[in-house]
Amino acid sequence: MLKTDKIDFVITWVDRTDEKWIQEKRIYDKKNPGDNGIHRYRDWENLRYWFRGVEKYAPWVNKIHFVTCGHLPIWLNVNHPKINIVSHKDYIPEEYLPTFNSNVIELNFHRIPGISEQFVYFNDDVFLIRPVKPEDYFKKGLPCDMLAFQPIVVKPENTLMAYIFLNNTAVLAKHFDKRKNIKAQPFHYFKPGYPLLYLFYNMLEYIFPLFTGFYTVHGAAPFKKKSYEQLWEKENDIFTQTCSHKFRNKDDINQYLIREWQKLNGDFSPQNIQKNFRYFEVQQNNTELMQTIVKQKVKTICFNDTNPEIEVDKVKMELINAFEMILPKKSQFEI
């Protein structure tokens, strides 16, 4: 890999047992209504398997920027040459701190000192379970992604995300004409190999002249630093507004805006990103999720914590046992 083609990983993490963090959060809880459920900050105690997966399945990664508000896992080898420990205060402007809003944390990644032009963002619920290559994320310097329409829908249990996706779409509509964009890059919308469902969506959506929403993937997200810089310059007001919110808020935008910006600009490599990825929402019964991990059915999985009612300790142990079956060996990222 050429020096100019370096690819960094970025991962965010919070330790909800940190007393200092708890006390600071309590100060703002009552003054700042927003998305502040317990499942927003739950720790599944499986972060070491993320690092084991990276060491085993992505040894080519340049740097891992490990982003927290300042706390660290006691087992983490902070002296590993590939780890860059990043505190929020190291890159988020002081006027936005402290923050408990994942959108603020994600929308400022381009400010991380030393971050490469090409980087991949991982939530701490997105794991590698099979080997990946640089070309899974970037081809000829372009992020690998899929440009597909999908109407914004409202989930009764989580109405907030519909607001945020609508806000993203409203920003994009200021800069792009839907039909003109389809005509300008038809092979990015109708790429052979895209899932048939989304090819159908794209054809159907051409009937409607206005944007109704985009297909989003809660998985490993490839970004160009330049894309962040462009949007911060063009839409500074709404970025600044979002960053002023201590917790996720219905008036926010989020990092998917930047991802769609790349795609509508044609600044990406069209790929079927569903092919080697599976998304799960953690339930009381997670048989399919466990089998996907143990049998390593795909390269990347996400298990999103959206259900505050599940029996956490039971599911946590099931996940740890599944990871132990494929990643039992301690990594060099662990002390």
Please, what's the largest Cα pairwise distance for the chain?
57
Averaged over 155-165, what is the pLDDT?
Answer: 90
Q: What would the pLDDT profile of 73-99 be if each residue is shown by its tens digit?
A: 999 999 999 999 999 999 999 999 999
Q: What was the pLDDT predicted at 3?
A: 45
Transcribe 128-153 into DSSP letters: E-S---GGGTEETTEEEE---B----
The stretches of the chain forming alpha helices (DSSP H) are 19-29, 47-57, 88-91, 102-107, 160-175, 178-184, 186-189, 196-205, 225-234, 236-243, 256-264, 287-294, 312-326
In this predicted structure, which of 34-48, 113-127, 160-174, 253-267 has the lowest mean pLDDT?
Answer: 34-48
Q: At what angle do helices 236-243 and 225-234 cross, to 10 degrees?
A: 100
pLDDT category of residue 2 using cuts at 50, 70 and 90: very low
Q: 46 — phi, psi (to 5°)?
A: -125, 15
Q: Which residues pair with 300 in a beta bridge?
A: 128, 277
Q: What share of the chain is helix, strand, coil (3-state, %, to 5)?
A: 40, 15, 45
Residues sharing a CB contact under 8 Å with residue 179, sequence separation 6 or more, in sequence order:
206, 209
Q: At what angle do helices 312-326 and 47-57 cross, to 10 degrees?
A: 20
Which sign, positive or negative, has the C-alpha torsion 159, 160, 164, 165?
negative
Residues sharing a CB contact under 8 Å with residue 45, sequence separation 6 or more, in sequence order:
316, 320
What is the model's pTM?
0.94
Position 22: which residue type?
A: I
Q: What would the pLDDT profile of 164-215 be if each residue is shown by its tens digit?
A: 999 999 999 999 999 999 999 999 999 999 999 999 999 999 999 999 999 9
Q: What would the pLDDT profile of 316-326 be if each residue is shown by its tens digit?
A: 999 999 999 99
Count of beta carbons in the 10 Å neighbourhood of residue 143:
22
Mean pLDDT rounded to a whole number for the chain:
93
In this predicted structure, which of 155-159, 273-277, 331-335 has the lowest mean pLDDT?
Answer: 155-159
Averaged over 90-117, what is the pLDDT?
Answer: 98
The burial class, CB within 10 Å (0-12 / 13-18 / 19+), for 254 is: buried
Averaged over 251-272, what is the pLDDT?
Answer: 98
Cβ-contact 116, 62 below 8 angstroms: yes
Cβ-contact 8, 119 below 8 angstroms: yes
3-326 CATH fold: Spore Coat Polysaccharide Biosynthesis Protein SpsA; Chain A (3.90.550)
Q: What would the pLDDT profile of 279-326 be if each residue is shown by its tens digit?
A: 999 888 899 999 999 999 999 999 988 777 778 889 999 999 999 999
Cβ-contact 98, 42 below 8 angstroms: no
The span from the CA of 197 to the CA of 148, in Å, is: 10
Residues sharing a CB contact under 8 Å with residue 145, sequence separation 6 or more, in sequence order:
222, 259, 262, 263, 268, 269, 270, 271, 273
Domain boundaries, the chain: 3-326
Cβ-contact 16, 41 below 8 angstroms: yes
Residues sharing a CB contact under 8 Å with residue 307, sequence separation 6 or more, in sequence order:
39, 281, 282, 283
Residue 38 has pLDDT above 70, yes or no: no
Tokens describing residue 306: 């959206």
Q: What was the pLDDT predicted at 1?
A: 44
